Amino acid sequence: ALANSEHRVEAAQRFLEAKERRQVGSEGWARATAAAFNKLIQEECAEAAKPEWWNDEGLKVMSARAVRAAPDTTSANRMRALVLCGMTDAWEAGPRSVAEFKEAATHFDRAAALHTAPAMKAQLAGFAVFMRGQPERQAQLDANKAQLLVLETFLQESRARSAAELTEA
C-alpha cells in the first residue's frame, strides 16, 4: 500500500527494511533493493536518509547484484540502467564510459520488454535509444570543451599581451 501512496520516504524505508530481512542475492532481496532505489531517486526523497551504499560505486555494485538476482524484473533492470547512465541528481554520478551507456541501453530495453504498461514500454525503449546515442553526444561535448579551452587560453594570452603592451607604452 505504501508503494503506491504519496508517502515515498516512508515507503523507501520500508523497502530497505524488507531488503535487510531477505537473503542477500535472492529475488526478494533484489526486488526490495530496486523498489527502495526507485523511491529514493524521487525528488520527495532528496533529504531522506540514504543507505551506506548510496554513492556512485556502491550503486553500481548494488544494481549489478540486483539484476543478477532478478534478471526478469522491470524494477531491477530499470535500476541498473539508471545507475549506469548516471543521469540523475539523486547522487553524485561520475563520468560514464561508452560501455556503461551501452549496458544502460540494454537494461532499458530489457525493462521495456518486461513492462506491461504500453506507455512505460515506450518510455523505457526511448531511453534505450537515447543511451545508444549518448557516446556520440559525449564525444561531441568533449570536443566542444577542448575547443573552448583553446579559445579561453588564446583570449587570456591576448589579454596578457595587451596589458604588457599598455604597460610598456
pLDDT in tens, 52-104: 999 999 999 999 999 999 999 999 999 999 999 998 889 999 999 999 999 99
Q: Worst-scoring range by mean pLDDT, 36-45, 56-65, 155-164? A: 155-164
Q: What is the pLDDT, as a whole number, of residue 158?
A: 84
Q: What is the pLDDT, as a whole number, of residue 145?
A: 83
2 pLDDT above the threshold of 70: no
Q: Where are the alpha helices (DSSP H) in 52-117?
A: 56-69, 74-85, 98-114
Measure the CA–CA gap between 31 and 76, rounded to whole angstroms.
Answer: 7
- Angle 110-60-20 (CA atoms, 0-180°, nearest 5)? 95
Helix H or strand E encompassing 139 = helix 118-168
Q: What is the pLDDT, as a whole number, of residue 73?
A: 96
Domain segments of the chain as ranges: 2-168
Measure the CA–CA gap between 82 and 28, rounded to whole angstroms.
Answer: 20
8 A C-beta contact, residue 108 and residue 79:
no
The CATH number given to 2-168 is: 1.25.40
Q: How confident is the model at residue 6 (pLDDT cuts 50, 70, 90)?
A: low
Q: How many CB atoms lie within 10 A of CB 84?
A: 26
| Residue bearing the bigger pLDDT, 152 or 142 | 152
Polymer length in residues for the chain: 169
Q: What is the pLDDT, as a whole number, of residue 111?
A: 97
pLDDT in tens, 116-137: 999 999 999 999 999 998 878 8
3-state secondary structure of 122: helix
| Residue bearing the bigger pLDDT, 65 or 13 | 65
| Residue bearing the bigger pLDDT, 41 or 142 | 41
